[in-house]
Amino acid sequence: MGEDLREFIKEAEDWGECRMIEGANWDLEIGRIAELSLSVPEPPLLLFDDIKGYPRGYRIAVNPLNSSRRLARALGLPAELTGIDRVKAWRDRISGFKSVPPVEVKTGPVKENIVVGEEIDLFKFPAPKWHEHDGGRYIGTADMIIQRDPDSGWVNVAIYRTMVCDRDSVGYHCVAGHHGALIAQKYWDRGLSCPIAIVCGMAPQLFAAANSVMPLGVSEYDFAGWIGNEPIEVVKGETVDLPIPAKAEIVLEGELVSPEDETVMEGPFGEWEGYYSGVRCPHPVVKIKAILHRNDPIILGAPMRVGAHDDEPLMTLDFSAQLWAELDRQIPGVTGVSFVPAARRWPLLVVAIKQLYPGHAKQAALAAAGVYRGATYVGRFIMVVDDDIDPTNIAEVLWALGTRCDPKEQIDFLSDRLSMASDPRLEPEKREIGDYTTTTAIINACRPYSWIDQFPKPIKSSREVLEETRQKWGAFIFGDS
């Protein structure tokens, strides 16, 4: 697997999964076109060129992994897998993770252009205003932020949004508790600015790794190398001592200044929950010291959008698989795990189990609520269903909820759960005092264990029988080959 965004786009073109759009405006139009693309299943990769006010070749790519084939290509999975089979395949694959550290090379395409000093101008790039009420232009929605822990030397890579503030500074939005915020605080506690590199266009396995959740001390570079079966090539930064992808499209090197010394106004932004629930408020600022970029650079974008189809299937898949792997270490009988895209993923989690003993369903729910990957921000509902339910199929999930759950007997509540400032349901009084907590409902949508053998038999055929039927008759029904 290559480590080049351009190679990936070329593959999408060869598959007929890339659409070139010319002449669109960076001011809202690109964002609206991207939003509209989610109205169809398997949205194509969109590549914008000849953007209004910018020279041809300064491009923006969106929907990188929004098709089954592109997602599978990026993660090294069989392209034909969908639903819970894909989650299971990714769970099985990550169970064999072994670090593949990056290798340093002398130079790379990212250094075709090196801009420093007074020549720095972030408005040289067509950073879009994605949503109507955004507070500015966001060059970083699918960016990867590189930071180094000052104590251990561990290099963390993650996705935190960045808004262009002026020619040489961006606002940095990182929720408290994330690894990037913890690293930055260590520098600030020592009276130092935090060295940082913001990569605004990179290969799909780097995008996937930056989206994932690695344990403290494990670099996402090592994970990306493992995904692609080869080390990521990196070069030294020009003004920061950080490893930078040699084939990155655009890199902003700089210093993340302590908010006690300086801040910038950032936001609001169309948040992942689907609302402008954040506010325009002071955020840490990154002072840009150098810009590295390839000829004809490509900004990779993944703004939050609400559509008929998942705006971020990578996150849905990875969080579901990672949590499933964690539950397998604690709870027997787990047959599937899925965050629900239509509910914006984190607020609704579904766990399927084969009930083995009294209290099994409640135990599974509490385990999911307690582990790191289950105790997510704004985790409002955790539902447990029987093993005949596919947790990635919302129709089956709602069937179980509507026919197997007695609200009085099978719903419990957990208080003081982690939320965040962008939570649209956060009461104004709590937001004002910084009380970012919510309630989690534990919903047991399983057949009652005490009389499970007497529960009416479902009319639904087994997955195996339906698959056999599809193999025999699918071509007549769906036009399958």
Complete domains list, the chain, with CATH? 5-301 (2.30.110.10), 330-478 (3.40.1670.10)
pLDDT per residue rounded down to tens, the chain (481 residues)? 446 999 999 999 999 999 999 999 999 999 999 999 988 889 999 999 999 999 999 999 999 999 999 999 999 999 999 999 999 999 999 999 999 999 999 999 999 999 999 999 999 999 999 999 999 999 999 999 999 999 999 999 999 999 999 999 999 999 888 899 999 999 999 999 999 999 999 999 999 999 998 888 999 999 999 999 999 999 999 999 999 999 999 999 999 999 999 999 999 998 878 888 778 889 999 999 999 999 999 999 999 888 777 778 898 999 999 999 999 999 999 999 999 988 888 899 999 999 999 999 999 999 999 887 666 677 899 999 999 999 999 989 999 999 999 999 999 999 998 888 888 888 989 988 989 889 999 999 999 999 999 999 888 878 788 788 878 877 877 775 4
How far is Cα 160 from Cα 210, in angstroms, rounded to an integer?
10
pLDDT at 376: 67
| Helix/strand/coil (H/E/C) assignment for every residue in the chain | CCCCHHHHHHHHHHCCCEEEEECCCCECHHHHHHHHHHHCCCCCEEEEECCCCCCCCCEEEECCCCCHHHHHHHHCCCCCCCHHHHHHHHHHHHCCCCCCCCEECCCCHHHCEEEEHHHCCHHHCCCCECCCCCCCEEEECCCEEEEECCCCCCEEEECCCEEEEECCEEEECCCCCCHHHHHHHHHHHCCCCEEEEEECCCCHHHHHHHHCCCCCCCCHHHHHHHHHCCCCEEEECCCCCCEEECCCCEEEEEEECCCCCCEEEECCCCCCCCCCCCCCEEEEEEEEEEEEECCCCEEEECCCCCCCCCCCHHHHHHHHHHHHHHHHCCCCCEEEEEEEHHHCEEEEEEEEECCCCCCHHHHHHHHHHHCCCCCCCCCCEEEEEECCCCCCCHHHHHHHHHHHCCHHHHEEEEEEEECCCCCCCCCHHHHHHCCCEEEEEEEECCCCHHHHHHCCCCCCCCHHHHHHHHHHHHHHHHCCC
Q: How far apart are CA 422 and CA 432, in angstroms?
A: 13
Per-residue model confidence (pLDDT) at position 343: 85
Cα(252)–Cα(237) distance, integer angstroms: 10
CB-side neighbour CA atoms (13 Å) of 260: 9
Hunting for tokens 């290559």 — which residue is that?
Answer: 2
241-274 in b/e form (b: 16+ CB < 10 A) is ebbbbbbbbbbbbbbbbbeeeebbebbbbbbbbe
